[in-house]
Amino acid sequence: MFIQYPKTIGKYQIAFLQRKFYKTGLIKRTESTRIYVQLKTINRNLQIAFKKYRLVPFDDRLDLFKSKTHIHFIDDQQYVGWSKYALKGVQVFDVPGDQKKIFQFPHLEEFACILQDALDKC
Protein backbone atom coordinates (compact mmCIF):
# COMPACT_ATOMS: atom_id res chain seq x y z
CA MET A 1 0.00 0.00 0.00
CA PHE A 2 2.82 2.43 0.87
CA ILE A 3 4.47 1.92 -2.52
CA GLN A 4 1.23 2.82 -4.32
CA TYR A 5 0.41 5.91 -2.21
CA PRO A 6 3.58 7.04 -0.41
CA LYS A 7 2.56 10.69 0.00
CA THR A 8 -0.89 9.92 1.37
CA ILE A 9 0.30 7.25 3.77
CA GLY A 10 3.29 9.35 4.81
CA LYS A 11 1.03 12.31 5.67
CA TYR A 12 -1.30 10.02 7.59
CA GLN A 13 1.57 8.53 9.58
CA ILE A 14 3.01 11.96 10.43
CA ALA A 15 -0.39 13.24 11.55
CA PHE A 16 -0.92 10.08 13.63
CA LEU A 17 2.45 10.49 15.37
CA GLN A 18 1.86 14.20 15.99
CA ARG A 19 -1.46 13.46 17.68
CA LYS A 20 0.21 10.85 19.90
CA PHE A 21 3.05 13.23 20.79
CA TYR A 22 0.58 16.02 21.63
CA LYS A 23 -1.54 13.72 23.81
CA THR A 24 1.45 12.42 25.74
CA GLY A 25 2.97 15.89 26.09
CA LEU A 26 6.19 14.99 24.26
CA ILE A 27 5.67 18.06 22.09
CA LYS A 28 3.63 21.16 22.81
CA ARG A 29 1.10 22.62 20.45
CA THR A 30 2.11 25.98 19.03
CA GLU A 31 -0.40 28.62 18.01
CA SER A 32 -0.01 27.64 14.35
CA THR A 33 -0.76 23.98 15.09
CA ARG A 34 -3.85 24.99 17.07
CA ILE A 35 -5.09 27.00 14.10
CA TYR A 36 -4.38 24.06 11.79
CA VAL A 37 -6.38 21.74 14.06
CA GLN A 38 -9.26 24.24 14.14
CA LEU A 39 -9.25 24.53 10.34
CA LYS A 40 -9.28 20.74 10.00
CA THR A 41 -12.26 20.58 12.39
CA ILE A 42 -14.11 23.27 10.45
CA ASN A 43 -13.40 21.51 7.15
CA ARG A 44 -14.56 18.16 8.54
CA ASN A 45 -17.80 19.74 9.81
CA LEU A 46 -18.38 21.43 6.45
CA GLN A 47 -17.94 18.09 4.69
CA ILE A 48 -20.47 16.46 7.03
CA ALA A 49 -22.97 19.29 6.45
CA PHE A 50 -22.39 19.12 2.69
CA LYS A 51 -23.12 15.39 2.61
CA LYS A 52 -26.31 15.75 4.68
CA TYR A 53 -27.76 18.82 2.95
CA ARG A 54 -30.45 18.26 0.34
CA LEU A 55 -31.40 21.20 -1.86
CA VAL A 56 -35.14 21.49 -2.50
CA PRO A 57 -36.95 23.77 -4.95
CA PHE A 58 -38.01 27.16 -3.55
CA ASP A 59 -40.75 29.51 -4.67
CA ASP A 60 -38.67 32.51 -5.66
CA ARG A 61 -36.26 33.87 -8.25
CA LEU A 62 -32.53 33.32 -8.04
CA ASP A 63 -29.82 35.75 -9.12
CA LEU A 64 -26.94 33.79 -10.62
CA PHE A 65 -23.58 35.52 -11.01
CA LYS A 66 -21.92 33.26 -13.55
CA SER A 67 -18.35 33.47 -14.74
CA LYS A 68 -17.90 34.05 -18.46
CA THR A 69 -15.01 31.60 -18.62
CA HIS A 70 -15.66 28.01 -17.56
CA ILE A 71 -12.76 25.94 -16.33
CA HIS A 72 -14.94 22.90 -15.57
CA PHE A 73 -17.39 20.99 -17.72
CA ILE A 74 -20.97 22.09 -17.05
CA ASP A 75 -24.02 20.22 -18.35
CA ASP A 76 -26.28 23.25 -18.10
CA GLN A 77 -24.25 26.14 -19.54
CA GLN A 78 -27.06 28.66 -19.18
CA TYR A 79 -28.28 28.16 -15.58
CA VAL A 80 -25.59 25.87 -14.13
CA GLY A 81 -28.31 23.56 -12.78
CA TRP A 82 -30.18 26.18 -10.75
CA SER A 83 -33.33 26.43 -12.91
CA LYS A 84 -34.88 23.31 -11.38
CA TYR A 85 -34.65 24.85 -7.90
CA ALA A 86 -35.71 28.47 -8.48
CA LEU A 87 -39.40 28.06 -9.35
CA LYS A 88 -39.80 31.73 -10.39
CA GLY A 89 -36.77 31.67 -12.67
CA VAL A 90 -33.09 32.46 -12.76
CA GLN A 91 -31.70 35.90 -13.57
CA VAL A 92 -28.22 35.38 -15.01
CA PHE A 93 -25.46 37.96 -14.62
CA ASP A 94 -22.33 37.16 -16.59
CA VAL A 95 -19.20 38.28 -14.78
CA PRO A 96 -15.64 38.36 -16.15
CA GLY A 97 -13.08 35.70 -15.32
CA ASP A 98 -13.43 32.08 -14.32
CA GLN A 99 -14.86 30.54 -11.15
CA LYS A 100 -11.61 31.03 -9.26
CA LYS A 101 -10.80 34.55 -10.45
CA ILE A 102 -14.09 36.49 -10.36
CA PHE A 103 -13.19 37.77 -6.90
CA GLN A 104 -9.66 38.80 -7.90
CA PHE A 105 -8.24 41.77 -9.75
CA PRO A 106 -8.70 42.78 -12.52
CA HIS A 107 -12.19 41.15 -12.53
CA LEU A 108 -13.23 42.15 -9.02
CA GLU A 109 -14.12 45.75 -9.84
CA GLU A 110 -16.39 44.82 -12.75
CA PHE A 111 -18.01 42.07 -10.67
CA ALA A 112 -18.67 44.59 -7.89
CA CYS A 113 -20.40 46.92 -10.36
CA ILE A 114 -22.57 44.10 -11.72
CA LEU A 115 -23.49 43.05 -8.19
CA GLN A 116 -24.31 46.61 -7.15
CA ASP A 117 -26.54 47.10 -10.22
CA ALA A 118 -28.43 43.91 -9.34
CA LEU A 119 -28.87 45.05 -5.73
CA ASP A 120 -30.09 48.47 -6.84
CA LYS A 121 -32.84 46.80 -8.93
CA CYS A 122 -34.17 44.75 -5.99
- Residue ranges per structural domain of the chain: 6-52, 62-120
Residue pair 71/100 in contact by the 8 Å Cβ criterion: yes
Residue pair 113/107 in contact by the 8 Å Cβ criterion: no
pLDDT of residue 7: 67
pLDDT of residue 22: 74
Q: Minimal CA–CA distance to 1: which of 103, 71, 9, 91? A: 9
Q: Minimal CA–CA distance to 118: which of 61, 70, 74? A: 61
Question: pLDDT by residue for the chain (122 residues), tens digit each?
Answer: 546 556 666 777 777 777 777 778 777 767 666 787 888 889 899 999 999 999 899 999 999 999 888 777 777 778 888 999 999 999 999 998 887 777 888 888 898 999 899 899 87
pLDDT of residue 51: 93
pLDDT of residue 97: 85
How many residues does this entry show for the chain? Answer: 122
